[in-house]
């Protein structure tokens, strides 16, 4: 089955800096790659997603890149703010959604 | 976007009892719903895929006789944890795509189960 690896497990940045989280996947049939932000005790919230026919997508301060050949995709957050602090999960879907292990992002004021 | 609700949001039960969790799609019909379990500080793990009008599909290692899933209507799927034990304490989250061909899944708010 699909295996999704996510790094780093924790990431600490200063407000205004950029944050990058990377994921790799194993199933070449995966064609949908969402990123979620989850606050403690809450549901995952979709922040951006990308499909396999696209290499990059941007939405304001958030961008995602996808390298199908290498089977990896990354989340980029620019101009980080304290409210960006949360756990971020990548996921990949072939037949079903498989999540990465999560990254605890802390943005220090 | 589409809205998915869950009930209850929190439940505490004694070991050996059964607990039912409901997942509802409020403004769309869901032929498929997904049930995930999330232990503290861990990721979401798919437990099973709930299919309206047919049997659920369980992931490897998930006991179908312990985690009973019923998807009797296009807007409701239920997960019953039978004979719950402390190790079943977890955050249970359901999700559903807004339509069968959609990529995006909409998540319920989750149910925190604590088994004493």
B interface with A, Cβ–Cβ below 8 Å: 34, 42-46, 49, 91, 93, 103-105, 107-110, 112
Structure tokens at B93: 């989250």
| DSSP 8-state assignment for residue A59 | E
Residues of B in contact with A32 (CB under 8 A): 103
Cβ pair B107:A96 closer than 8 A: no
Among candidates A32, A43, A96 on the partner chain, residue whose Cβ is nearest the Cβ of B93? A43
- Dist. CA B89–CA B78, nearest whole Å: 17
Q: What is the mean pLDDT of chain B?
A: 95
Kindly report, residue by residue over B8-52, the tens digit of the pLDDT.
999 999 999 999 999 999 999 999 999 999 999 999 999 999 998
- Give A22-56 pLDDT, tens digit per residue: 999 999 999 999 999 999 999 999 999 999 888 99
pLDDT of residue A45: 97
pLDDT tens profile A88-109: 999 999 989 999 999 999 999 9
Q: How would you class B57 by CB atoms within 10 Å of its CB: exposed for 0-12, middle for 13-18, buried for 19 or more?
A: middle
Determine, for residues B43 and A97 on separate chains, whether the beta-carbon distance falls below 8 Å. Answer: no
Give the pLDDT band (50/70/90) at residue A1.
confident
Q: Please say if the pLDDT value at position B100 is more than 90.
A: no
Q: How many CB atoms lie within 10 A of CB B68?
A: 16
Q: Which of B51, B45, B87, B52 is nearest to B66 (CA)?
A: B87
Q: Is residue B98 pLDDT above 80, yes or no?
A: yes
Q: Does A98 touch chain B (CB under 8 A)?
A: yes
| A-B contacts (CB, under 8 Å) | 40
Q: Please, how many CA atoms are within 13 Å of residue A19, restricted to the half-sphere of its CB?
A: 29
DSSP B109: -
User: Phi and psi of A64, rounded to 5°?
Assistant: -130, 140
> Where does the pLDDT of residue B74 fall: very low under 50, low under 70, confident under 90, or very high at 90 and above?
very high
Residue A101 burial (10 A CB sphere; 0-12, 13-18, 19+): middle
Contact A51 B103 (CB under 8 A): yes
Mean pLDDT of B57-84: 95
Residues of A in contact with B109 (CB under 8 A): 42-43
Pairwise CB contact (< 8 Å): B103 & A44: no
Distance from CA of A93 to the nearest CA of B (A): 9
The string over B83-92, giving b where at least 16 C-beta atoms fall within 10 Å of a residue's C-beta and e elsewhere, is: ebeeebbbbb
Q: Do A96 and B34 touch (CB under 8 A)?
A: yes
The whole-angstrom distance between residue B12's C-alpha and the CA centroid of its chain comes to: 17
Does the CA dihedral A48-A53-A57-A63 come out positive or negative? positive
Q: Which 3-state string (H, E, C) describes A80-109?
A: CCHHHCEEEEEEEECCCEEECCCEEEEEEC
- Other Cβ atoms within 10 Å of B65 Cβ, number: 8
Best mutation site among B62, B103, B110 for testing chain A: the one with the most A CBs within 10 Å? Answer: B103
């Amino acid at each position: 089955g699909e295996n999704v690896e996510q790094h780093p497990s924790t990431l600490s940045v200063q407000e205004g800096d950029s944050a990058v989280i990377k994921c790799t996947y194993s199933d070449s049939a995966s064609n949908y790659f969402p990123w979620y932000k989850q606050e403690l005790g809450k549901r995952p919230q979709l922040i951006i997603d990308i499909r396999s026919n696209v290499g990059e997508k941007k939405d304001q301060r958030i961008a995602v890149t996808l390298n199908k050949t290498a089977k990896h995709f990354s989340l980029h957050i620019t101009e980080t703010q304290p409210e960006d602090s949360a756990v971020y999960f990548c996921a990949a879907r072939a037949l079903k959604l498989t999540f990465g292990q999560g990254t605890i992002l802390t943005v220090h004021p | 976007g589409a809205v998915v609700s869950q009930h209850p949001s929190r439940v505490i039960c004694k070991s050996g009892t059964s607990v039912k969790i409901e997942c509802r799609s409020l403004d769309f019909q869901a032929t498929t719903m997904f049930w995930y379990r999330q232990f503290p500080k861990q990721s979401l793990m798919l437990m099973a895929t709930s299919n309206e009008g047919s049997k659920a599909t369980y992931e490897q290692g998930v006991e179908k006789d312990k985690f009973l899933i019923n998807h009797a209507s296009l807007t409701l799927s239920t997960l019953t944890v039978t004979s719950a034990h402390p190790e079943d304490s977890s955050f249970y989250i359901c999700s559903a795509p807004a339509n069968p061909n959609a990529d995006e899944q909409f998540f319920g708010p989750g149910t925190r189960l604590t088994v004493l």
